[in-house]
Amino acid sequence: MKLKDKTVIITGAGGGIGSALVERLFREEAKLILIEKTKEALKKLVSKYGERYKYYVCDFLDKKEFFGLVKHLNEELDEIEVLINVAGIGIYKPLETVSLKEWDNSFSLNVTAPFILTKELLSKLQKSKTSLVLNIGSGAGVIPMKNRSVYCSTKFALRGLTLSLVEEFKGKPPFFCLITLGSTLTRFGPMSLEEKIKQYEGGTAYFVPEWVADKLIEIIKDIDRKTEYVLYPGEFGFGTWKKP
């Protein structure tokens, strides 16, 4: 798939992986629809890319606000070639300390938001014969982990949703692809980026966001792509700190 002039929606566009993806898609000359939770996150993108893209602030936990955005996108866009669901939340806690709000918010962001966007924008996605919905999953969607029952539950659910839609839409657009992704050097989750960098310097395997973005662009452009990619940093030789 050639990405020049193709309409691409990215949620979580201001995060570590999201912003690296925006940079790569900028080089591909795609038409970007960038969505973030806060104005501060989007301001950084606006300052870098100017008015060439469409920018939206939306809190996916606010259903009125969320459906208002979806309605606007349906009115504004004629066709959508790629929907990339990056936005998410990581709650890593023992069961007895998890609140119901944390459980509900985790499912709302990690599972319900991709479901709603895909369902409500389906008619726009189906206008392109090569359209793609790319969902960012996790190794936590395959491997049960201690003190991550909430996060694992959402990523197992996202994996089930994505792979089921692969079967449901087999042979017709949109196509679906799941990225089962290992640990990446971003601010996602309870550990700070600085703490992760210290671990990285000590030999812990992490991806850098730029590598992940390059890999995702490669997958998006591949017309013979698989339905799921399992990417763990240790298997790609990562784990030794290298200055950019």
Which CATH number is 49's domain given?
Answer: 3.40.50.720
**Parts of the chain with a pLDDT under 50:** 239-244
Q: Give me the pLDDT at residue 171, please.
A: 95
Q: How far apart are the first and last CA of the chain?
A: 29
Q: Quick check: is 242 in a domain?
A: no
What are the phi and psi torsion angles at 151 (to 5°)? -60, -45
Q: Quick check: is 173 in a domain?
A: yes
Tokens 């979806």 belong to 70
Q: Give me the pLDDT at residue 240, please.
A: 41
* CA 211 to each of CA 5, 23, 54, 206, 232: distance values in angstroms, whole numbers, following the listed order: 23, 12, 25, 10, 12
Q: Give me the pLDDT at residue 203, please.
A: 84
Q: Give me the pLDDT at residue 15, please.
A: 94
Domain with 175, as residue range(s), is 7-236
Q: Quick check: is 155 in a domain?
A: yes
Q: Give me the pLDDT at residue 72, please.
A: 98
Q: Quick check: is 130 in a domain?
A: yes
Token pair for 157:
């659910």
Q: Give me the pLDDT at residue 237, please.
A: 63
Q: Give me the pLDDT at residue 238, please.
A: 54
Q: Quick check: is 244 in a domain?
A: no
> Three-class SS of residue 187?
coil
What are the phi and psi torsion angles at 54 (to 5°)? -100, 130
Domain total in the chain: 1
Residues sharing a CB contact under 8 Å with residue 31, sequence separation 6 or more, in sequence order: 5, 6, 7, 8, 53
Q: Quick check: is 24 in a domain?
A: yes
Report which secondary-structure segment, H or E, holds 96.
none
Instruction: Say how many residues make up the chain.
Output: 244
The answer to whether the beta carbons of residues 127 and 79 sit under 8 Å apart is yes
Please state the pTM of the whole predicted model: 0.94
Q: Quick check: is 23 in a domain?
A: yes
User: Which amino acid belongs to residue 127?
Assistant: K
Q: Give me the pLDDT at residue 239, please.
A: 44
Q: Quick check: is 241 in a domain?
A: no
